Amino acid sequence: MKVPFFKPTIGEEEIAAVVTCLRSGWLTTGAQTREFEAEFARYVGAKHAVALNSCTAALHLALEAVGLQRGELVLVPTMTFAATAEVVRYFDAVPVFVDCDPRTQCIDVAAAARTLEQIAAGQPAAGVFGPYGRVRAIIPMHYAGQMADVDAVNALAATHGISVIEDAAHTLPAFTRTNGSAPWRAVGTTAAITCFSFYANKCITTGEGGMAVTDDDTYADRMRLMSLHGMSKDAWKRYTAAGSWYYEIVAPGFKYNLTDIASAIGRVQLARAEELWEARRAVAAMYEVALAGIPGLERPTEDANRRHSWHLYSIRLDLEVWTKGRDAFIDGLKERGVASSVHWQPLHMQPYYRQAYALTTQLFPVAAGLWPRLVTLPLYPGMTRDDVELVADAIRSLQ
């Protein structure tokens, strides 16, 4: 590929940090991870950060911490990655899908409100039928790195007495404000628990990894406990001078801790988060210019009250112009050496959810209408103006 979909930005500092960690003799969760957590919490402005081996693990532990039980309901966007909904199924609970906003592709809060009202009235709602268990939580996801309308989500959640867990896998850093004169608020400070991903192509990476942040002491303690087999007493310390061999298992936990090798990379990446963000923003700005004259392409926009992470650069095709369709467009780019992807086929269209909940396309018209038009173009910090021009030329040659 002349322009791959993504290239991680790993420099000598990350390599040196891993080597130092390997030489230290301590590979698994330890001092590097505790430092990474403290630095991450400071960076986003949250009280606690719990380092985990994925964002999926963070979402799972977040739902566990807010007390999700079998048969209860959790509102999730249909326009999201598998993880956002599958974690609800881990509890044998019910994911209730919500359509997306036609512009931002984040959760449509008005649709979520209608669904909650229908559930409260015991009526059929968005593919689910009563009798209903309690609605425990809602998981807004920040599509491509632009924060959802968290003010509206929080207001709705307060009305219905449910928890807000943000899926911020795409989002570091990112900011939102209520209006032009309100202060900016960072992602990680606007929900009960916010979950980040450090997967290879994310804004900062540890190869695989994640973080759950919260201001709530009880949630933080519970997530930490459940991340390591439900063992009490700082189990990671048990082989250090500070620790003791003795522990108690107080709950059937999971094995979700992050290694010090990963945390060593994460600490360097976190220190570079602004630099990497600047580089992503510059690529998005280059695309804005390079794609401007091409007919039938809708480019992503940054809201006046958001600061976008630019994890993904997702365009929409006007299929009356691109009559051969999205799949042919992607194949054509590939033939010209440009990798691309699609984010996403909505979850209600995926065989498992479609069959398990008898979901139909008509229930989620916005997401269903967008998906055949979606193409995500390459975006990574090391992309050059020539790379962007090459992508634009490849698209023009498909016309």
Ligand X SMILES: Cc1ncc(COP(=O)(O)O)c(C=O)c1O
Does 140 engage in binding with ligand X (CB under 6 A)? no
**Are the CB atoms for 216 and 66 separated by under 8 Å?**
no
Q: Which of 2, 7, 202, 237 is catalytic?
A: 202
Among 37, 72, 99, 167, binds ligand X (CB under 6 A): 167
| Piece of 16-24, 81-89, 114-122, 212-220 that binds ligand X (CB under 6 A) | 81-89
Query: Which residues are CB-neighbours of 192 under 8 A, at least 6 positions away?
Result: 62, 66, 163, 164, 165, 214, 216, 219
Task: Give the CA distances from residue 132 to residues 74, 121, 129, 276, 363, in Å, rounded to whole numbers and listed in that order.
Answer: 11, 10, 7, 45, 19
Q: Count how many Cα atoms sit within 13 Å of the Cα of residue 201 in the half-sphere of its side chain.
A: 14
Write down the least CB distance from residue 199 to ligand X, Å. Answer: 4
Write down the least CB distance from residue 103 to ligand X, Å. Answer: 18
Q: Is the dihedral of CA 363, 81, 394, 310 positive or negative?
A: positive
| Piece of 50-58, 88-96, 273-281, 320-328 that binds ligand X (CB under 6 A) | 50-58
Tell me, residue by residue from 287 to 306, as one string, x for binding to ligand X by CB under 6 A and - for no binding. --------------------
Active site annotation includes 202: yes
**Are the CB atoms for 353 and 97 separated by under 8 Å?**
yes
Q: Interface residues for ligand X in 305-324 (CB under 6 A)?
A: none
**Are the CB atoms for 171 and 203 separated by under 8 Å?**
yes
Euclidean distance between CA atoms 295 and 289, whole angstroms = 13
> In 3-state terms, what secondary structure has residue 137?
strand
Does 81 engage in binding with ligand X (CB under 6 A)? yes
Nearest CA to 138 out of 173, 176, 175, 96 is that of 96
Does 109 engage in binding with ligand X (CB under 6 A)? no
Among 41, 44, 94, 141, binds ligand X (CB under 6 A): 141
Instruction: Tell me whether residue 168 or residue 395 sits nearer to ligand X (CB atom).
Output: 168
| Residue 398, H or E segment | helix 385-398
**Are the CB atoms for 111 and 153 separated by under 8 Å?**
no
Does 85 engage in binding with ligand X (CB under 6 A)? no
**Are the CB atoms for 337 and 5 separated by under 8 Å?**
no
Instruction: Tell me whether residue 56 or residue 115 sits nearer to ligand X (CB atom).
Output: 56
Write down the least CB distance from residue 98 to ligand X, Å. Answer: 14
Q: Count how many Cα atoms sit within 13 Å of the Cα of residue 210 in the half-sphere of its side chain.
A: 27
| Residue 76, H or E segment | strand 73-77
Instruction: Tell me whether residue 55 or residue 374 sits nearer to ligand X (CB atom).
Output: 55
Does 145 engage in binding with ligand X (CB under 6 A)? no
Does 43 engage in binding with ligand X (CB under 6 A)? no
| Piece of 118-126, 128-136, 162-170, 278-286 that binds ligand X (CB under 6 A) | 162-170
Number of residues that bind ligand X (CB under 6 A): 14
Footprint on this chain of ligand X (rule: CB under 6 A): 54-56, 80-81, 83-84, 141, 167, 169-170, 197, 199, 210
Catalytic residues: 202
